[in-house]
Amino acid sequence: MPRKRFIIAITGASGHPYGIRLLEALRELDFETHLVMSRSAVVALAYESDMKLKDVQALADHVHSNEDVAAPISSGSFRTAGMIIAPCSAKTLGEIASGACGTLVSRAADVCLKERRRLVLLFRETPLHLGHCRNMVAVTEMGGIVMPPVPAFYPKPESVDEIVDHTVGRALDLFDVDTGRVKRWKE
């Protein structure tokens, strides 16, 4: 039986540790991953991580250029478990909400929505204006899940890594994938 496929997109918003940790967690759990990063994500990576682009790409089984709208993940016939965009920028949220799919990130997200596959956006923006809120509503009405990476404090995290692990674990819970790193409420 082939491994389950996940699409992981990293865009230019702050929060690269979420995308990186998703790739690490899915590798540990032996899922096939397809990574696509926006141009802004590559720029922001240098500010938020000591990892080099090639090191992040090495965490994925397949890497696709954001300009390659003919990549396999742009087609509904290419079966996946779904897609997580972590972090998701306001620009990417707007593209998905409007259906204007000029990049591989937004096209792959659009495919997940049209095929009724799970799409989770770790939207990283604050404070919000009405346009952000309307775009979140639009994506939700289309079947996507907007999951701002808001930290949980009931597990009493002792590090940023524990906060990231918890959020990544909760995002993967939405796909019924247990990383084993989530401290569950009252467990």
- Distance (Å, rounded) from C-alpha 135 to C-alpha 156? 32
Q: How confident is the model at residue 1 (pLDDT cuts 50, 70, 90)?
A: low
DSSP symbol at 124: -
Residue 184 covered by a domain: no
Domain count across the chain? 1
Q: Render pLDDT for 71-106 as a digit per residue (tens, 0 to 9).
A: 999 999 999 999 999 999 999 999 999 999 999 999
Check which CATH number belongs to the domain holding 150 and give it. Answer: 3.40.50.1950
Q: Which domain holds residue 122?
A: 5-173
Peptide bond into 157 cis (omega under 30): no
185: in domain? no
Residue 182 lies in a domain: no
- Say how many C-beta atoms besides its own lie within 10 A of residue 180's C-beta: 9
Task: Evaluate whether residue 186 is within a structural domain.
Answer: no
Q: Is residue 62 part of a domain?
A: yes
2 — pLDDT class (breaks 50, 70, 90): confident
In a domain, 22, yes or no: yes
Instruction: Give percent above pLDDT 90 in the chain.
Output: 95
Q: Distance between CA atoms of 96 and 152, rounded to whole angstroms?
A: 27
